């Protein structure tokens, strides 16, 4: 039997390195789906409960990866990842590494280069759900890298997230999508939190404000303002100002900053949005609509 045939025979076996809150959730999902799971963690006792549920505890990271054709790695950062994987020697050769450690697109590309040099098939992933949702049918996990690796291990990938999304061969794409979506989340959260702080300055509770803000206004922004319908305008750089110009929106942003100051609440956030609009106006987009801000966002600051 060739070494590759020996690896292929371990078809239901999965390795997992890293047992933080996310690693433990991944392990639980893999066990639930009936995989033969071998785990390794710097602090071995974190595997105790998993071992009682049928997981094998490896004595080293090399032992963990050698037990399976595919190994997930879920560590705190890339320094740790290299520290741990460097110690596996040649044990990963001919096997697949699915890296669910958060980082940047360049870190994912460097990890692909590191893996390719060692004959390791590499897939990068980004988990879009918190640990309790791992393994659930609606759990979205983003992947990028070689499509063959995604296709070959799709059944295993589906065990940790019922909705795995393959985004393309550029291995940096999964983490880039992840970063973009998280930015949307934080920007939206900050919008809601600052708006609630404005109302709090007049003794209106967040619960009271939520009915109008989240029950009516947010869905209206997404649906009636048709953000999805406007996406082709972004691709075409088409920003007609007939129904409202960026200059007009700048006026509104100035009102938000001034109102925040008057009400005695934190005014940096609206002022920053105001300054962004001012830069777009200075760049010649004043008579276009608000979407023209996109032109500013697409370039690094001069
Ligand atoms: N938790 C979430 O909600 C969530 C959601 C999406 C993505 N993620 C990503 O998933 C990854 C893991 O997150 P996590 O929540 O499980 O916890 P974490 O605190 O980011 O990572 C903990 C893991 O890293 C290991 N580790 C840290 N320093 C180490 C070292 N010097 N040598 C060896 N191992 C070391 C820990 O081992 P010990 O147990 O021995 O300390 C543990 O296995 C991160 O990249 C995170 O961004 C997490």
* pLDDT averaged over every residue in the chain: 95
For atom 42 of ligand 1, the residue with the nearest CA is: 20
**Closest Cα to atom 17, ligand 1: which residue?**
20
3-state secondary structure 245-272: CHHHHHHHHHHHHHHHHHHCCCCHHHHH
Domains of the chain in start order, with CATH, are: 3-169 (3.40.50.720), 177-297 (1.10.1040.10)
pLDDT at 179: 96
Encode pLDDT of 234-268 as tens digits. Answer: 999 999 999 999 999 999 999 999 999 999 999 99
User: Is the pLDDT reported for residue 115 higher than 90?
Assistant: yes
User: Does 11 sit in the ligand 1 pocket, CB within 6 Å?
Assistant: no
For 12-99, list the strands marked E by DSSP: 13-17, 36-40, 56-57, 70-73, 96-99
pLDDT by residue (tens digit) across 170-196?
Answer: 999 999 999 999 999 999 999 999 999
pLDDT band for 302, please (50, 70, 90 cuts): low
Strand-by-strand arrangement of the 36-40 sheet: 56-57, 36-40, 13-17, 70-73, 96-99, 121-127, 140-145, 163-166
Atom in ligand 1 nearest the alpha carbon of residue 19: 43
Q: Which of 15, 72, 76, 142 best tests ligand 1's pocket when mutated (most atoms within 8 Å of CB)?
A: 76
Atom of ligand 1 nearest to the CA of 128: 6
Task: Compute the distance between CA of residue 96 and CA of residue 258 in angstroms, rounded to an integer.
Answer: 56
Phi, psi of 16 (to 5 degrees): -145, 125
pTM above 0.85, yes or no: yes
| For ligand 1, atom 29: residue with the closest CA | 80
CA of 73 to the centre of ligand 1 (A): 10
Give percent of the chain with pLDDT exceeding 90: 91
- The secondary structure element, H or E, covering residue 141 is strand 140-145
Rg (CA), the chain: 24
Whether 34 lines ligand 1, by a CB cut-off of 6 Å, is no
Separation of alpha carbons 80 and 189, rounded Å:
31
How confident is the model over 24-66, as pLDDT tens digits?
999 999 999 999 999 999 999 999 999 999 999 999 999 999 9
Tell me the pairing of strands 96-99 and 70-73: parallel
Q: Quote the CA–CA distance of 73 and 19 in Å, as a whole number.
A: 9
Q: How many C-beta neighbours within 10 Å does residue 301 have?
A: 5
- Residue 126 burial (CB count, 10 A): 26
Confidence of residue 301 (pLDDT cuts 50, 70, 90): confident
Flag whether pLDDT at 13 surpasses 90. Answer: yes
Round to whole Å and give the CA distance between 126 and 124. Answer: 7
Q: Is 145 left (phi over 0), alpha (psi -120 to 50) or beta?
A: left
Nearest atom, ligand 1, residue 24 CA: 16
How far is it, in rounded angstroms, from Cα 134 to Cα 141? Answer: 9
Residue 224 pLDDT class (50, 70, 90 cuts): low
Q: Span 102-116, mean pLDDT? A: 98
């Amino acid at each position: 039997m060739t070494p590759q045939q020996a690896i292929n025979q371990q078809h239901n076996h999965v390795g997992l390195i890293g047992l933080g809150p996310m690693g433990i959730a991944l392990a639980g999902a893999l066990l639930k789906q009936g995989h033969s799971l071998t785990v390794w963690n710097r602090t071995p006792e974190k595997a105790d409960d998993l071992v009682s549920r049928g997981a094998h505890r490896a004595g080293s990271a090399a032992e963990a990866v050698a037990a399976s054709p595919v190994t997930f790695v879920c560590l705190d950062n890339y320094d740790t990842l290299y520290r741990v994987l460097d110690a596996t020697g040649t044990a990963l050769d001919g096997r697949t590494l699915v890296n669910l450690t958060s980082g940047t697109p360049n870190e994912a590309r460097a990890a692909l280069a590191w893996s390719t040099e060692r004959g390791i098939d590499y897939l990068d992933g980004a988990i879009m759900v918190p640990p309790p949702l791992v393994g659930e049918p609606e759990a979205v996990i983003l992947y990028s890298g070689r499509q063959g690796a995604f296709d070959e291990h799709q059944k295993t990938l589906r065990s940790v997230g019922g909705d795995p999304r393959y985004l393309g061969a550029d291995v940096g794409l999964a983490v880039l999508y992840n970063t973009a979506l998280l930015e949307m989340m934080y920007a939206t959260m900050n919008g809601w939190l600052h708006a609630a702080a404005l109302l709090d300055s007049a003794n209106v509770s967040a619960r009271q404000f939520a009915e109008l803000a989240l029950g009516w206004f947010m869905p209206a922004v997404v649906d009636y303002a048709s953000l999805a319908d406007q996406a082709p305008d972004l691709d075409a750089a088409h920003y007609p100002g007939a129904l409202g110009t960026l200059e007009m929106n700048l006026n509104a942003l100035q009102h938000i900053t001034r109102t925040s100051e008057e009400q005695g609440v934190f005014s940096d956030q609206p002022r920053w949005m105001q300054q962004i609009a001012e830069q777009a106006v200075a760049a010649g987009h004043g008579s276009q609509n608000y979407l023209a801000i996109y032109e500013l966002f697409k370039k690094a600051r001069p």
